[in-house]
Amino acid sequence: MSAAPSGGARFGRRLDVAAPYAIAAIGFILSYAKLAELAERAGYGTVTAHLWPLAVDGLAIVATRGVLTLTTPSARRYAWVMLGAGTSVSVIAAITAGMLPPGPLPPAATAAVYVVPPLCLLVAPHLAVKMHDQARRDTGTTDVAPTRTEPATSRRATPPAAVAHAATDISPATPDVAAAKPEDECDTVPIPGVAPATPKLTSIPNAQVTNGATAATEETRQRVIAMKTANPALSFRAIARACDTSDKNVGRWWKAHQESRCDKVALSAAPVGATSDRQTA
C-alpha cells in the first residue's frame, strides 16, 4: 500500500497545476495592453479599443478549448486553424504596435485592424456550432449508458414469503388447485376410499407469478417499441423512466426490434429475386 504524499509533494503538485494558468494570465494581460493601444491608434474609442483584444485573444482561447474537447477530425482541424489564426493576429498586432512610430497608424495598418472583428464574427459562430454538436453527442452517450436500475420483472414479482404463505394455505381438496395442476396430473381418476396424494403446490404460485411477470414485461416492451417508433429522437433513458424499466432493457428491446425488421425486409425481398432469376433463365 503506497504511503500518503507529504506536504511538500502536495504543494509541488498544486504548483504544477497553477503555474501554467498563472503564465497564461500574465501573457493575456500583457498582450491585451498592447492590442488595446494598437486599437486606439487605429481610431477606436476608449471602450471599443479595449474590446478589440478580447475578439483576438478570446478567439484563441476558445479555439484552444475546442482542440481539447472536439473529437471529430474535421472539427478538431477547424479548431486548430482558428487557434493558429487568432495567435497569428495577436503576434502580428503586437509587432506592428512596437515597430510603427507613435501616433495614428498608416491607412493600411488601420484597415487591417478594422477587418479583424468582422472575420471573428464570421468564424466564431461556426466554431460554437461544432462545440455544441460535440456537447450534444456527449449527452446522448451519457443517456445510453446503462444504469443499475432494477429490472421491471423483479419489481413486479410477488415476494417469495407471500408465495410460500399462499402455498401452505391451499388444501389438496380445493377445486382451484385441481384446475391449476399440470395436464399430466389432471387425467387421474379418484378412487373411492383412497386418500388422494398431496400435490406439489409450491411450484403453482411460482408459475402464476412468472406468467404475470412475463406478461407485464411483454406489455412494457411493446410500449417501449411504440414510443421509440413514434418519436425516434427520445433517448433510452427518457423512455425507460416513462415505462418504469431500465434503459439497458430499452436498448436491448429496440435493437432486437430493428433486427427483426431487417429480417422481415430480407424475407419479403427474397421471392422477388428468385422470380427474376427464373425469368432470366
Distance in angstroms (rounded) separating the CA atoms of residues 14 and 185: 77
Distance in angstroms (rounded) separating the CA atoms of residues 5 and 41: 53
Query: H/E element holding 216?
Result: helix 203-230
Report whether 35 contacts 53 (CB < 8 A): yes
80 and 97 inside one domain: yes
106 and 212 inside one domain: no
Range of the domain at 85: 12-144
52 and 159 inside one domain: no
16 and 129 inside one domain: yes
In a domain, 218, yes or no: yes
Contacts of 27 by beta carbon, 8 Å cutoff, 6+ apart: none
In a domain, 251, yes or no: yes
Q: Each residue's pLDDT tens digit in the chain (281 positions)?
A: 455 566 678 888 888 888 888 998 998 898 888 899 999 999 999 899 999 999 998 899 999 989 988 888 889 999 999 999 999 999 998 898 888 888 888 999 999 999 999 998 988 898 899 888 888 888 875 554 445 554 444 445 455 555 444 444 444 444 444 444 444 444 445 555 555 555 444 444 444 444 555 777 888 888 888 888 888 888 888 888 888 888 788 888 888 888 887 777 666 766 555 544 544 54
SS3 call for 50: helix
Q: Write down the pLDDT at residue 246.
A: 85
268 and 207 inside one domain: yes
Distance in angstroms (rounded) separating the CA atoms of residues 216 and 220: 6
70 and 132 inside one domain: yes
Cell of 114: 478594422
Q: Write down the pLDDT at residue 46.
A: 86
What pTM was computed for the model?
A: 0.45
In a domain, 193, yes or no: no
Q: Write down the pLDDT at residue 4.
A: 57
In a domain, 181, yes or no: yes
Q: Which of 144, 162, 178 is the last residue of a domain?
A: 144
69 and 162 inside one domain: no
In a domain, 191, yes or no: no
DSSP for 68-121? HH--SHHHHHHHHHHHHHHHHHHHHHHHHHHHSPSSSPPHHHHHHHHHHHHHHH
134 and 180 inside one domain: no
In a domain, 268, yes or no: yes
In a domain, 58, yes or no: yes
170 and 226 inside one domain: yes
Q: Write down the pLDDT at residue 154.
A: 45
Q: Write down the pLDDT at residue 77.
A: 92
134 and 17 inside one domain: yes
170 and 120 inside one domain: no
- In the chain, the number of structural domains is 2
180 and 268 inside one domain: yes
Report whether 35 contacts 87 (CB < 8 A): no
In a domain, 4, yes or no: no
